[in-house]
Amino acid sequence: MHRHPISIGTWLSLGSPAAAEIAALCGYDWVLLDLEHGCETDAALPHQLRALRGGTTRAIVRVGAPHPDLIGRVLDWGADGIMVPRVETAAEAVAIVEATRHSPRGRRGYARTVRSMGYGLKVESATDSVVLAQIETVAAVAEAAAIAAVDGIDALFVGPADLGFDLAARHDSRTVADCLPGIVAATQSSEKAAGILVRTPEDLAHMRDLGFSWLAIDSDISLLREGMRRHLEAGRALS
């Protein structure tokens, strides 16, 4: 079985450059800047990307939909890669990859003056952008092997909340846990990586043993919320 190195990240949904900078200073391998469910619009994204500049933490941006113009703008602004929600077919995966690559490998527009090119002060890096396709529906689980086989897809990333919701909505008797081994097997057949979001560090070892290597732990919103609740409960207990 091909083993990918473990890469630890976290979800940043507040749209805060300070949160991004703190995550980088803490040493996360990557952060997910969320344009699908996050609190800020894409106009706030460059400020978060600047907060990561100069460090080793990779910026992965989840776009709200696989629109080529949005994908191109995110990469022009300097994101290291993208995550795309609800990818369900190989054809969708091909179109997503093409949106991240310049001609002749894709259909991404080319500009010398964008941030990723140093506003015209540097040549473009030959490194391809990371592309993570989210597996979040029953249909996506069935097509996972075909999606993973697409050249340019680096990893399948499970969205547990969406997948669990879709399973229940379709009266599918399987749980998210039931689907995970098959998704990992689908990635291994193409020597791609598998990723997942977990809520507690205690889940990490189990997911690693299943074969997941892109591991995101919790989110800035959750960490802030739960920290505040704990402190408030401690204060209220003094009454």
Q: Which residues are catalytic, by number?
A: 37
Which class for 214: exposed (0-12), middle (13-18), buried (19 or more C-beta within 10 A)? Answer: buried
* Residue 28 in tokens: 């996360």
Contact 184, 194 (CB under 8 A): yes
With H, G, I as helix, E, B as strand and everything else as coil, classify residue 158: strand
Omega prior to 104 cis, within 30 of 0: yes
Instruction: Say how far apart CA 168 and CA 194 lie, in whole Å.
Output: 23
SS (H, E, C) 25-51: HHCCCEEEEECCCCCCCHHHHHHHHHH
Distances (CA, A) of 108 to 69, 73, 96, 100: 8, 10, 10, 6
Nearest to 81 by CA among 16, 154, 147, 27: 154
Question: CB neighbours (10 Å) of residue 147?
Answer: 27
